[in-house]
Amino acid sequence: MPGATLAAAAGAGVRIESVSSRAVKTEAVVLRSMRYAEADRILHLYTPHRGRVGAIAKGVRRTRSRFGGRLEPFFRLHIELHEGRGELLTVTGAQTIDGHARLRGDAHALDAAARACDAVGRLFETSEPHPGVFNLLCRQLALLDERAGEAARAAEPGPSGQSSARGRAGALAFRLKLLLAAGLAPQLGACASCGEREHLVGFSGAAGGVVCGACEAGSFPLAEEAHRFMADALGRALTDVPEAGAPVLGQVERAIAATLEHHAHVRLMPAAGRAR
Ligand SMILES: [Zn+2]
């Protein structure tokens, strides 16, 4: 009985940590999946209580692998891992919670999902737990999957400018919520330098938010619509992202990038691919 062994070990004055391996069961989203050696894969997983986890899945690329196609990016899983002495955990079991199958048939949704996973992996790359970030990522993937399904049913010949603006707005709203979870939400209620509540005309990454006319040195202009988009996106659910045109979204993206560069030294890929 493992419990008795542990108790005996502890009683004998042996440190529990000397038990060199243990099983970990967790939910996870596959952020990245890279080929490794003959038939293995290295995975980046995002979990609710262990943050980002690196794992190796052995023999997964063999046709008869018991994991099937489950260890691909964007799968949400119940996963079993074996934690040994190495940096990577070993995958010992996986059950699908959601494979997001519709998303996989839509190039735009797939691209958006890859950018969402990349942003989470870069901003939350440690084992620090952020269950809110895990939930946010799951909601964003579910939403992309649902909308890919809708687009397929409507048999749209291709994405219109409107739907690609909606996609970019959704991606930026997601990033703003990630900033909030990382403790980096930009100050939007008053000038981030002096506290002035009126005449907020710019955005400064260094100051960490909107700035007034007197403090605008080192800032870039921020339209009222862009300011409102950020406040609304932070206050609303991901299913209820405000609409905005390309120039406004461009300013929002720049504000997010400036915040991340100054305060997290992180640079993300563009929020959305070029409209095709
Ligand atoms: Zn000011």
The CATH number of whichever domain residue 113 belongs to comes to: 1.20.1440.120
Counted domains in the chain: 2
Claim to verify: residue 34 and residue 170 sit in the same structural domain: no
Answer with the one of 68, 100, 132 that is the final residue of a domain.
Answer: 100
Residues 56 and 131 in one domain: no
Question: Is there a domain that residue 13 lies in?
Answer: no
**What parts of the chain have a pLDDT lower than 70?**
1-20, 155-163, 274-276
How many angstroms separate the alpha carbon of residue 226 from the centre of ligand 1? 18
Q: What pLDDT does 161 receive?
A: 58
256 and 128 within one domain: yes
Distance 247 CA to ligand 1 centre (A): 24
Q: pLDDT tens digits, residue range 33-69?
A: 999 998 999 999 999 999 999 999 998 888 778 888 8
80 CB neighbour count, 10 Å cutoff = 16
Final residue before a domain boundary, out of 78, 100, 122? 100
Walk across the sheet containing 200-204 and list its strands.
209-212, 200-204, 220-221
Inside any domain, residue 5 = no
- Residue 184 in any domain: the answer is yes
Rounded CA-CA distance 199/176 in Å is 23
d(Cα 134, Cα 13) in Å, to the nearest integer? 38
Same structural domain for residues 116 and 145?
Answer: yes
Do 148 and 234 fall within a single domain? Answer: yes
Whole-number pLDDT of residue 155: 61
State whether 141 and 226 are in the same domain.
Answer: yes
Query: What spacing in Å lies between the alpha carbon of 84 and ligand 1's midpoint?
Result: 53
Query: Can you give the pTM of this predicted structure?
Result: 0.88
In the reported structure, the alpha carbon of residue 20 is separated from the centroid of ligand 1 by a whole-number distance in angstroms of: 56
Do 85 and 139 lie in one domain? The reply is: no
In-domain check, residue 162: yes
Domain containing 77 — which CATH number? 2.40.50.140
Range of the domain at 44: 19-100
User: 173 and 90 in one domain?
Assistant: no
The per-residue pLDDT for 162 is 64
* Domain assignment of residue 268, yes or no: no
- If you measure from the C-alpha of residue 183 to the centroid of ligand 1, how many angstroms do you get, rounded to a whole number? 22
Shared domain check, 64 and 189: no
How far apart are the CA of 196 and the centre of ligand 1, in A? 5
Q: Are residues 88 and 139 in the same domain?
A: no
54 CA from centroid of ligand 1 (Å): 44
Q: 216 CA to middle of ligand 1, Å?
A: 7
User: Could you tell me the distance, in angstroms and rounded to a whole number, from the CA of residue 202 to the centre of ligand 1?
Assistant: 10
State both tokens at 36. Answer: 């490794």
Same domain, 197 and 241: yes
Q: What is the dihedral of CA 107, 144, 45, 128, to 10 degrees?
A: 140
Ligand 1 centre from 55 Cα, in Å? 47
CA of 206 to the centre of ligand 1 (A): 13
By the 8 A CB rule, do 24 and 89 touch? yes
Distance 205 CA to ligand 1 centre (A): 14
Q: Please report the pLDDT score of residue 13 as a whole number.
A: 44
Q: How far is the CA of 124 from the centre of ligand 1 (A)?
A: 31
Residues 164 and 179 in one domain: yes
Under 8 Å between Cβ of 57 and 71: yes
- The answer to whether position 148 is within a domain reads yes
Q: Which of 40, 68, 100 is the C-terminal boundary of a domain? A: 100
Ligand 1 centre distance from Cα of residue 180 (Å): 22
Measured in angstroms, how far is the CA atom of residue 255 from the centroid of ligand 1? 17
Is-contact 140 174, C-beta < 8 A?
Answer: yes
pLDDT at position 156 is 53
Contact (CB, 8 A) for 12 and 91: no
14: CB partners within 8 A, 6+ apart: none
Say how many Å lie between the CA of residue 179 and the centre of ligand 1: 22
- Are 15 and 122 in contact, with CB atoms under 8 Å apart? no
User: How far does residue 223's CA lie from ligand 1's centre (Å)?
Assistant: 16
Residues 23 and 237: their CA atoms lie apart, in Å, by 36
85 in Cβ contact with 20 (< 8 Å): yes
User: How far, in whole angstroms, is CA 152 from its chain's centroid?
Assistant: 25
**What would the two tokens of residue 32 be?**
């990245």
* Span from the CA of 103 to the centroid of ligand 1 (angstroms): 44
